[in-house]
Structure 1
């Protein structure tokens, strides 16, 4: 179909090319133009006088959905191939209606103009998607540095996707390079002459992201494929010319089609819309993402935790219902160790396996207890969001794992010295607990190696 589009007249199109175009036109419009009322509800709920980078990212993340998967997403669920099938069926019906209506009319639409319009919509939709993901990588937010609890979780107790993400998180420079490549691809898509280059980069980059999500059991496989299939459609426009020129050493004619602007305001509107897109979704979005990277990674809570308590704690004493539980690798009731994060999260390691919350979907949450990255893919630690009543010296704990939503209880704490915390109270099962925690001065090999590298030496 790409070759025939270079002809000057729509009449030069073959019948099957027109059928294919009508189907493709309706299908990609349904895929790329938001038609879900919930999307606009969110769009108009944004404070556009002071938007956050999360507002921009959630806007960029739209895909049509008919089957909402179970997810913790704030605005829409996880896209599935069933949604694509529904879109394709709707597009097939509409394209058939279009065909019958067109045969009854004398004035038929100019397919070349429609094809140009479709490419413009898809170019900007794809640019928005890849720039959004590029920015949260360029200012390393998508895969943050591991938390203290992550450092104290055995490798075998982490899911494949969590290991993948943590591995990227300890290499922020590499993450920034990946983000820069995505941003470059997005910028190239904004101009017709460089669209093929930008689309080719997206095919390679997000094709790899699609395969990585499949291999490591991530949650972004379908969205990565969504971006890839738009990029493939855009690339096909120039594919034959590229193959002829670079592979077959044949002459290739450029696409000389240009839309006809009969009024000056039409060209001005085009320039204004492109300038507004670049201003809002590149510069403003970029600045907001940069500002967020300097405050706190969005995957982790921001509410401060118990003052001066951050660290890894050995459970030196543990009793349940008055019965002392000595340290044991087989006791599923006893706590093994406890981590107090810098923020209001407390994690408890146990021998009993935890039903993991499998993350991998890129969602930016406003509420601390909804930020599940730190616990996703973990099978040996319970993560509790807690609130502090400093007057009564109590901690109100809520298990952040949605699989344990009923695990909520309150513990009294006291701190006889700077390295000891004593906890007592009734847990969610109604059992009385008494726990004595002693902070460990643990060194972490990766961080020590980083310090050694900055001094120019090695730590063995």
Structure 2
């Protein structure tokens, strides 16, 4: 079909019918027709949008089988949603055919094909630039937390290992983001769109396979971007093969849209300029500002002043009884980590039901930022609020599987390295815990220090 489109010859009947289906299918996939999307779109403060606002706009996909459950996340489609889109496209293409037959209307397929490619070029550019920016400013895979360094390797999910491995290589993450942004910029111009689509096919083909191999949560969205890129690349694929592989004469695509009225061309320039302003410059600035302020994956509220570190639980009292240290005791704490931010993690022998959702979400509220615990089974993570006047900590388990797990604790700073915690949990059990900070060295960070000094690790 692509050959007949580009040389202006008469379309065959089956080509028209295929195009009708393809046109409706991709328009339904790329153009938001869901009232919930526009409800959120108009709720955004466009004078000062957040990074989450722009990211969610960039990642819209049609959904029919699940409702929006969080203001921070608009959701991703499933293959079942794709099936509904395909059925609607099939019905629409049949109606289109009979409309042309009954009314004698002849659609301008060349113009419609050009319009479809424009829609898909910008939709694909939006998707890859958004992900490119949160990689270019290393946000998508942040540096591991202190708690992460104190979890056994086998207690991480495959997806979390992949993410942490990328997080310790921010320069490589920036390179990957730059490549995505470059591909997105190429898609904004008709003459370079095929190159941009080809880069997306290679890049997101790898992303798709990585999501399958490491059990990530965005395999379907990667496939969504891939099938748009494949359609765009097919427009020039035969010409590229003829020119570079078969050494055959090749005609360029000579089609140019005709603008009858001056306002049509002005509208095109205006929309393109607005797209570049909002989704490259504003989005880029918001990503940079978020990176400078700290990763959106970790809470923004500071933790207990001067408490950051790994602590050994030297004494543990439970309901008035002293429990000796044990690797098998599901009640007694083994060690505790105070993060730089308001997260406290506790290691016990209790079996933990992990939270395995690997979908990229930018949360506004600190207690909803659960990247640090996602894909781990070694520790319980608690968001806490500090009352420095009453010397109390209010702890809430951040794992969605343990939302009723809470503590009200009083803290006492015995010295610079010792903290006593005492209080009650949500079930009324009392505890009295003595924590002593450990001066633990971490192999990766020591290796980094050696590299910066120009030394070698033997």
Indicate whether the TM-score tops 0.5: yes
1:346/1:385 contact within 8 Å kept? yes
Map Cα deviations across residues 212-248 of structure 1 (whole Å, 9 max, x no partner). 0000000011100000000000001011111111121
| In structure 1, C-alpha distance between the alignment counterparts of 2:326 and 2:376, rounded to whole Å | 21
| In structure 2, C-alpha distance between the alignment counterparts of 1:248 and 1:71, rounded to whole Å | 53
| Counterpart for residue 424 of structure 1 | 422
| Counterpart for residue 169 of structure 1 | 167
| Counterpart for residue 356 of structure 2 | 358
SS in 1 for 2:259: coil
Offset of residue 40 of structure 1: 1.2
| Counterpart for residue 22 of structure 1 | 20
| Counterpart for residue 4 of structure 2 | 4
Map Cα deviations across residues 50-97 of structure 1 (whole Å, 9 max, x no partner). 112221111101000112289867342232111100111111111111
Q: Which runs of 5+ in 1 are unaligned?
A: none
1:71/1:78 contact within 8 Å kept? no
Map Cα deviations across residues 287-320 of structure 1 (whole Å, 9 max, x no partner). 1111111111000000111111111000001121
| In structure 1, C-alpha distance between the alignment counterparts of 2:180 and 2:248, rounded to whole Å | 31
1:60/1:128 contact within 8 Å kept? yes
**Aligned match for 2:176, one of 178, 183, 196:** 178
Q: Label 1:440 to 1:351 Cα distance change in 2 as closer, same or farther (>3 A).
A: same
2:381/2:398 contact within 8 Å kept? yes
| Counterpart for residue 123 of structure 2 | 125
| Counterpart for residue 151 of structure 1 | 149
| Counterpart for residue 262 of structure 1 | 260
| Counterpart for residue 55 of structure 2 | 57
Offset of residue 34 of structure 1: 0.7
Map Cα deviations across residues 354-387 of structure 1 (whole Å, 9 max, x no partner). 1100131011010000111000011010000011
- 1:97-246, aligned counterparts within 5 Å? 97-246=95-244
| In structure 2, C-alpha distance between the alignment counterparts of 1:45 and 1:341, rounded to whole Å | 34
2:348/2:379 contact within 8 Å kept? yes
Tell me how many residue pairs correspond in the alignment: 458
SS in 2 for 1:39: helix
| In structure 2, C-alpha distance between the alignment counterparts of 1:314 and 1:366, rounded to whole Å | 32
Counterpart check, 1:371 vs 2:348: no
2:99/2:105 contact within 8 Å kept? no
| Counterpart for residue 451 of structure 2 | 453
SS in 2 for 1:198: helix
| Counterpart for residue 315 of structure 1 | 313
1:424/1:434 contact within 8 Å kept? yes
1:69/1:78 contact within 8 Å kept? no
1:311/1:341 contact within 8 Å kept? yes
Q: Which runs of 5+ in 2 are unaligned?
A: none
Q: Please give the TM-score of this superposition, normalised by the length of structure 1.
A: 0.97
